[in-house]
Amino acid sequence: MQLEVEVDPPGAVAIDRETERRLTAVAAAGPILVFGVSIFTSAYLLFLVEPMIAKMILPLAGGSPAVWTTSVLFFQSVLLVGYGYSHWLSMKLQWKWQAALHGALLLAPLPLLPIHLIPGWNPPSSNPAAWLVLVLSVAVGLPFLVLSTTSPLIQYWFSRTTHPQASDPYFLYRASNLGSALGLLSYPFLIEPWIGLRAQAQMWRVAYIGFLLVVAAALVALRRARTVNPTPDAAELGDAIPITWKRRGRWVLLATVPSTWMLAATSYFTTVVRPMPLLWVIPLTLYLLSFVVVFARRTLVPRQWLSRIFPFYALPLLGIVLLDGGGPFWFLAALHFGAFFLAALLCHGELAADRPHRRQLTEFYWWLGVGGAAGGLMVAVIAPRFFNDFYEYPLAIAAAALLRPARAPGGDRRARVLDFALPAGLAAAMLAVVGALTLSGALDRLNRVEVTAVATGADLVRVLIVLAIPAAVSAAFIRRPTRFGLAITAMFLLGLLPIGSLAAVYQQRDFFGVHKVVSDPSSGEHALIDGGTIHGLEFMKGRLRDTPVAYYSPAGPLGDFFKSKSAVDAGWNVGVIGLGTGEIACYAKPQQTWTFYEIDPAVVQIARNPSLFTFLRDCTTRANVVLGDGRLTIAQAPDHSYDLIVLDAFGSDAIPVHLLTREALSLYAKKLKPGGAILFNVSNRYVGLAPILAREAGSLSMVSLERIDGQGDPAAGKFPSDWVATALTNDDLGDLGSRPGWRPLHPDPHTPLWTDDFNDVLSVTRLG
């Protein structure tokens, strides 16, 4: 019998092997895909909820950048707790108990959703930081904690599989930070402009349930991936290099500096440079993307290249910060945020290069969390308490310079001594120059310049001593990080010297910002500066003493209003939201009662201090000051009690959105007497608010007029200003509509209607 053998056609074996290779690749990619999607989804939801809850809280806590920095500190602290939980779970429990405990934790937030605030839980009249942390804890603490555990846990679980790439699971960290960045960016551009807060909260709840399903799929994939014992024994841990406390300390420092710089740059840029909405998104996005870059499987940016170019960003940035320099928006944004991104890549790159064995993954993330929380603590708590300006910003720049990897060998003892001696000599030489100028009287003569003028002589000396000479010397130290870092630290200290025209007679920093009063000794001119904006001006002597100037000049829109009302001398009851220097009080008549609503205790102290401003003392003895949020406190006044309500509550040029919504305008109208009116100071360099107010007034059947006064008069202290007047009828505004420059505002149906649930500042923002 002949045995017939069927022979495969040529190429059949090759096809089978190719198919097998592809199937193997798909099988290997499957766990990575499901684990990556789980990590991505959790991070996306984490950074979607941060701006959402912050927007819910802003109407209660005010529009200060400190609301955001305190919120970030809270989120960083919860993240640290989540990382600690992940480390404990992975080290102490067997796989089945890990899955059971974490499964229960994943389900725990469901009864608390959708995310919401407790009605009537209002902040205290003083520093609301502790209140803010408590509200965040109740509203989002548990969901945020659960989501924060996902990335380190799943990375660790993946490292315990037999997958070919399980030996280095850190590449999955990219999915976490990529999800975080996309979640952060999608909120202002895709969600906020189209969806109200209540709908956002409902949408987030649905997305969280979807996240639970993805994690369940990841757990199933994990069971099928031939998992090794999830709790390593002593023999397995012996494969890893022991982590010393010196190494842990270095991790913390490398994580602290970018976190500090991110928040410091956010506070500084959104207060001093451009108080525009959503700018905080840029540094936080760059912070997250830096992790994506440095934890890639292949090196995308060489560390030595970063180290070489960083000083050429750090030196000019530090100079601009110390000299309060201005410039085109895009140039300043590129310099501030570009330097930060380099620093984040530099520090996070050092962390990625020093990542430990996979068995120590969760501990590594724990120490990174410690550093991130330390940075938040520095900016949100320590700096406002101990610094009277944004000094944490230049300190973060100097710290990043000190942490650069060295381009030259450590050197001998002499070189190490010079690392300290040369920067000290630089500082001593510049101090000697300042001392000589002071003794000769030259410095005093340079400083005698009006606060609104340009001090060319003093500015030149300041540029030379603070920037030009120290920067030139520091540039020679670039190859030695310690020497270079200490040299730019000397630059920072020299920047504190009183050289320049704006001599501060008072300066205080609190939760709401930095408040500075500057004075010209020769004319007695005082100015209140908040961020980069003058918020009040007074001539302490001469014919203009106790005369409202700046945005409140009698020749401006506000003066027009008081001239237009025939009953202005009657016993009016006037409410003003926003105190400032109290200039508006000089329109008060003896029979009138004025009440100022002010959220910031520091501003009240400044306005009541007669050595700084005398408007409240001299212009009216019947002015009351109520401390607290203007909208919340004026709501307690009896209905139909005010003849006039004035809205003048801007911190720098930041927009207090909750004071300008339809519900807020309806509240103010309810507090007016018949024939009363509402005035809005909408002077702002970056946001056009008049169309928004016209739209809201139209929805309430109210009328509005606007005058844009573009004429300034520096000699009289008059600034350009923009005011909107609103009332139930045109008759309630007197003859204001017939006065030069005033025009009626007609509501545009295409303009978005701002409400407490929906508002979009970005749509009315000017970038120039």
At 278 the pLDDT is 65
What average pLDDT does range 226-233 have in this prediction? 50
The answer, yes or no, to whether residue 529 has pLDDT greater than 90, is no
What average pLDDT does range 594-599 have in this prediction? 91
Parse the chain into domains and list their residue ranges. Answer: 28-231, 236-400, 413-501, 551-764
Mean pLDDT is highest, among 129-133, 190-194, 207-211, for 207-211
CATH of 236-400 given 3.30.70, 1.25.40, 1.20.1250, 1.10.3210: 1.20.1250
Q: Average per-residue pLDDT in the chain?
A: 81
What is the band of 342 on the pLDDT scale with cuts at 50, 70, 90?
Answer: very high
What is the band of 652 on the pLDDT scale with cuts at 50, 70, 90?
Answer: low
At 125 the pLDDT is 62
Mean pLDDT is highest, among 22-36, 98-112, 534-548, for 98-112
Cα–Cα dist 323/317, whole Å: 10
**What class is the 28-231 domain?**
mainly alpha
Q: Which residues, other chains included, contact 579 with Cβ-Cβ below 8 Å and sequence gap of 6+?
A: 596, 597, 598, 603, 604, 607, 625
Residue with tokens 């969280």: 208
At 668 the pLDDT is 95
Residue with tokens 């108080």: 275
Ranking 7-11, 116-120, 511-515, 533-537 by mean pLDDT, the lowest is 7-11
User: Of 83 and 303, which is predicted with more confidence?
Assistant: 83
Cβ atoms of 581 and 528 within 8 Å: the answer is: yes
Dig out the tokens for 251 from the structure. Answer: 């991790």
Cα–Cα dist 274/556, whole Å: 25
Cβ atoms of 484 and 478 within 8 Å: the answer is: yes
CA 589 to chain CA mean position, Å? 42
* Cα separation of the two ends of the chain: 95
What average pLDDT does range 748-759 have in this prediction? 86
What is the band of 375 on the pLDDT scale with cuts at 50, 70, 90?
Answer: very high
Residue with tokens 């809850």: 53
CB atoms within 10 A of CB 338: 13
Tell me the H-state helices in 448-582. 456-462, 469-475, 481-494, 557-564
Cα–Cα dist 369/366, whole Å: 5
For residue 234, with 0-12 CB atoms within 10 Å meaning exposed, 13-18 middle and 19 or more buried, which class applies?
A: exposed
Dig out the tokens for 462 from the structure. Answer: 């300041």
Cβ atoms of 702 and 743 within 8 Å: the answer is: no
Ranking 62-76, 395-409, 689-703 by mean pLDDT, the lowest is 62-76
Cα–Cα dist 537/324, whole Å: 20
Q: What is the CATH number of domain 551-764?
A: 3.40.50.150
The answer, yes or no, to whether residue 69 has pLDDT greater than 70, is yes
Find out whether the peptide bond into 152 is cis, omega within 30 degrees of 0. Answer: no
At 23 the pLDDT is 37
Same fold, 28-231 and 236-400: yes
The answer, yes or no, to whether residue 4 has pLDDT greater than 90, is no
For the stretch 569-587, pLDDT in tens is 678 899 999 898 899 999 9
The answer, yes or no, to whether residue 206 has pLDDT greater than 90, is yes
What is the band of 462 on the pLDDT scale with cuts at 50, 70, 90?
Answer: low
Task: Count the residues in the chain.
Answer: 768
For the stretch 245-304, pLDDT in tens is 999 999 999 999 999 999 999 888 877 777 665 677 888 889 989 988 888 777 777 777
At 440 the pLDDT is 64
